[in-house]
Structure 1
Amino acid sequence: MTENASFRAGHVAVIGRPNVGKSTLINALVGAKVSIVSNRPQTTRHRLLGVASWPEGQIVLVDTPGLHREQGKATASAMHRWMNRSARGAVEGVDAALLVVEAGRWDDEDGAAYELLHASGVPVVLVVNQVDRIKDKAALLPYLAKVAEGRTFASVHPVSALKRKGLDGLVAAVLPLLPTQPALYDEDTITDRSERFLAAELLREQLMRQLGAELPYATTVEIEGFVDDGGMSRIAAVIWVERDGQKAIVIGKGGARLKEIGAKARLQMERLFDRKVFLETWVRVREGWSDDEAALRAFGYDESRSP
């Protein structure tokens, strides 16, 4: 694949405010589920790399938490501060950036994300996602003109990541922005993260999907055991919450909610890992973990990761 003298490869940050479909876009480009998705803002907490390879080149996509408005130091939780630092740090060392926005909408958070990328000096590609939700497609043209006014973009691409529409043009525009060099990862690699990490994320995805309205940000997952045993992975996972009442919500009546969460997460793991999974889950309480810097580090929120 990399013997082509014109082959290009490089890192591309994917930046935007929460809930614009950044993770869906990365999964669509990679062709596999490497980043979890829910309809709750700030589902993505960790920086990870999604590796998308084609005969012409390789794009290493840097997925990040969504940028959101900074709260005051006295009120912003350690988790929110950490996610904003992680998103801003993703711009360092990349060759280009995708600014992902929601079709038909541009607000102060979109503007702040653009200013961050513009100040970094990297080429910025505007990705207008979720165009499938716009019934009047003629309304897109004045919207695109307004967004582009006074701003510099390497190119602009209306897409639907969910329906995989418009992605070929996006890839064709991004590859020329990358250095001419061999692939940075093997062709079969889809992420830099371990299966252990992905298992934790897939379980947390189900928590966000099923409990997002009740416990939007009060849960995290720690993998205590991950053993491959004759074609089967045996995984032991702890779901951490901040209060006893939250523990009861996760478990549900007679353990029904926890069982459903575990069953759906296990199916996702089997699909991604391509083998059987035996998953055991426990729910434990650690008061105030999301506002405790030491707890965040213990649970794997590591700022040292970079492209």
Structure 2
Amino acid sequence: MNIKQKYCGWITIIGKSNVGKSTLLNKIIGKKISIVSRKKNTTQTHITGINTKKYYQCIYTDTPGFIFNKKNDKIEYKKNIFFNIVKNSTLIMFVIDQVSWTEKDNIIFNKIKKNGIPVIIIINKIDKISNKNILLPFIDFIKKKTQAIEIIPISAKKTKNMMLLYNIVKNYLPKNPHVYPENHITTNSQFFTISEIIREQLILFLGDELPSIVKVEIEYLKEIENNQLHIRALILVIHSRQKKIIIGHNGEKIKKISIISRYKIEKELHKKIHLLLWVKKDTSK
């Protein structure tokens, strides 16, 4: 019997807020499993995506952007939830925004390299660089400064160099049996997926009126006859004024958010959805 060797590893995607980590994960997986917006700290918890191609299984973890102290010179360790994830990684993908290497990037890189885990630096959003002549000197600068094992310029949004990235990541996978079935693409629960769809609509619809730290909890989910789901979700806010913002005049905003969220959930789950949104002050704070 000819049994082919299998390869499997854990790749953690890290970087500052808004460098395109979630977009990168979605493009790698080929499906939107992590919500995306221009607001800082949109990703609130780590999200796992699985990409399996024949004998190679890459298990990616999208992490929230690093949180710094008020002086922006130290990482707030208690507020960053992914240090244990990083320690157990096979490979780290450190994403930066175009040809920008800031002091924050320096602090993050110096911290993660202490784990002794190979680091690939991803220069994202190269489609936005008007003068491409500055790219090679910047890569040379980063190479000397970090001694990263690979430095790869990509555009996650435009899918430029994504196949190159996959081939490089594949080469670093150790010999391991696959952890997940071939068709498995995420560990997100149905509850989590639904809550993130609703939270994404809140962020997109309300923009700067509402912080991205707003929480959504699924209080009730029941499947009834004819392939229908009844869902009751709580939108938890910190201040009473945020509750008024979400509800809007005569409930106009919450109604629109509910309609769009219901449509998105139906499209994702392929079921008829009955959705009730309820805005409540978060008493756990």
Q: What is the TM-score normalised by the length of structure 2?
A: 0.92
> Would you say the 8 A contact 1:224–1:236 is kept in 2?
yes
**Cα distance in 2, alignment partners of residues 107 and 142 from structure 1:** 16
Q: Does 1:69 align with 2:64?
A: no
Aligned counterpart in structure 2 of residue 91 of structure 1, from 86, 90, 107: 86
Displacement of 1:173 after TM fit? 0.5
> Would you say the 8 A contact 2:44–2:213 is kept in 1?
no
Consecutive unaligned residues of structure 2, counting only runs of 5 or more, are none
Q: What secondary structure is seen at the aligned counterpart in 1 of 2:86?
A: coil
Matches within 5 A, 1:113-132: 113-132=108-127
Instruction: Name 2:7's counterpart in structure 1.
Output: 8
Cα offsets for 1:230-289 (capped at 9, x unmatched): 3222211000112221111001112121122222222322232233322210101135x5
Instruction: Name 1:303's counterpart in structure 2.
Output: none
**Cα distance in 1, alignment partners of residues 4 and 268 from structure 2:** 30
> Would you say the 8 A contact 1:99–1:113 is kept in 2?
no
> Would you say the 8 A contact 1:242–1:285 is kept in 2?
yes
Residue type of the partner of 1:274?
A: H
Instruction: Name 1:249's counterpart in structure 2.
Output: 245
Displacement of 1:83 after TM fit? 4.3
> Would you say the 8 A contact 1:225–1:237 is kept in 2?
yes
Q: What is the TM-score normalised by the length of structure 1?
A: 0.85
Q: Does 1:146 align with 2:145?
A: no
Matches within 5 A, 1:1-307: 4-5=4-5, 7-71=6-70, 83-84=79-80, 86-217=81-212, 219-229=214-224, 230-286=226-282, 289=284, 292=285
Displacement of 1:110 after TM fit? 1.3
> Would you say the 8 A contact 1:46–1:83 is kept in 2?
no
Compared CA separation, residues 236 and 262, structure 1 to 2 (3 A): same
Q: What secondary structure is seen at the aligned counterpart in 2 of 1:213?
A: helix
The structure whose RCO (Cα within 8 Å, separation 6+) is larger is 1
User: CA RMSD of the aligned region, Å?
Assistant: 1.9
**Cα distance in 1, alignment partners of residues 184 and 99 from structure 2:** 35
> Would you say the 8 A contact 2:41–2:213 is kept in 1?
no
> Would you say the 8 A contact 2:22–2:62 is kept in 1?
yes
**Cα distance in 1, alignment partners of residues 13 and 45 from structure 2:** 13
Q: What secondary structure is seen at the aligned counterpart in 2 of 1:91?
A: helix
**Cα distance in 2, alignment partners of residues 238 and 125 from structure 1:** 39
Q: How many residues matched? A: 279
> Would you say the 8 A contact 2:39–2:212 is kept in 1?
no
Give identity over the alignment, percent.
32
Q: What secondary structure is seen at the aligned counterpart in 2 of 1:199?
A: helix
Displacement of 1:105 after TM fit? 1.1
Consecutive unaligned residues of structure 1, counting only runs of 5 or more, are 293-307
Q: What secondary structure is seen at the aligned counterpart in 1 of 2:246?
A: helix
Q: What secondary structure is seen at the aligned counterpart in 2 of 1:90?
A: helix
Displacement of 1:53 after TM fit? 1.4
Cα offsets for 1:9-35 (capped at 9, x unmatched): 111110001110101100110111111
Residue type of the partner of 2:64?
A: P
